[in-house]
Amino acid sequence: MMSHGKFATAINCMDGRAQLPVIEYLKKKLGVDFVDMVTEAGPVKALAENADRGFLDSVRKRIWVSVEKHHSQAIAVVGHHDCAGNPVGEAEQRRQIERSLAVVGSWDPGVEVLGLWVNGSWRVEEIKPRGQE
């Protein structure tokens, strides 16, 4: 069955506080109707470390479904303030998001990969990889 509408994908924390701000941001920025959510507790830590094969394979499989079946136009990798699953400061999470962008990009998903930070006011900030500021 064909999907109706335009999609993006977010690799986001399972924390419910980070869901709506990311969905709203991606819908507005990309002009999509829906955002497929791949959620884990603090996913940017495991993505940045690029070591847990089971985790990485699970995320890749879900990304593939979103891109191949829903024709997702972009993938966002998200970190957020006050993360219980990755209890490190903002600066470290921003570094993890940058490393995560490289990891997800290395999977050659065929779509843009964005880094997003959800700050303490639950507003989304885009993170540009070094050299692209």
Judge contact between 66 and 7, C-beta under 8 A: yes
Q: What is the pLDDT of residue 2?
A: 53
User: Is the distance from CB of 10 to CB of 67 less than 8 angstroms?
Assistant: no
The reported pLDDT for the residue numbered 43 is: 97
Rounded to 5°, the CA angle 13-15-19 comes to 80
Sequential pLDDT tens for the chain (133 residues): 455 799 999 999 999 999 999 999 999 999 999 999 999 999 999 999 999 999 999 999 999 999 999 999 999 999 999 999 999 999 999 999 999 999 999 999 999 999 999 999 999 999 976 655 5
pLDDT for position 130: 63
Count CA atoms closer than 13 A to 41's CA, side-chain side. Answer: 4
Task: Write out the two tokens for 76.
Answer: 């966002």
* Per-residue pLDDT at 115: 97
pLDDT of 132: 54
Do residues 70 and 37 lie in contact, with contact meaning Cβ atoms separated by under 8 Å?
no
d(CA 103, CA 94): 14
Distance from CA of residue 118 to its chain's centroid? 11
The domains found in the chain, sorted by start residue, are: 7-127 (3.40.1050.10)
> What gap in Å lies between CA 68 and CA 52, rounded to an integer?
24
Q: Which pLDDT belongs to residue 4? A: 78
Asked if residue 127 lies in contact with residue 94, where contact means CB atoms within 8 angstroms, the answer is: yes
The whole-number pLDDT of residue 128 equals 79
pLDDT at 47: 97
Find tokens 């996913």 and name the residue.
43
What would the two tokens of residue 29 be?
């920025």
Instruction: Select from 132, 13, 4 the least CA-distant residue to 71.
Output: 4
State pTM to two decimals.
Answer: 0.93
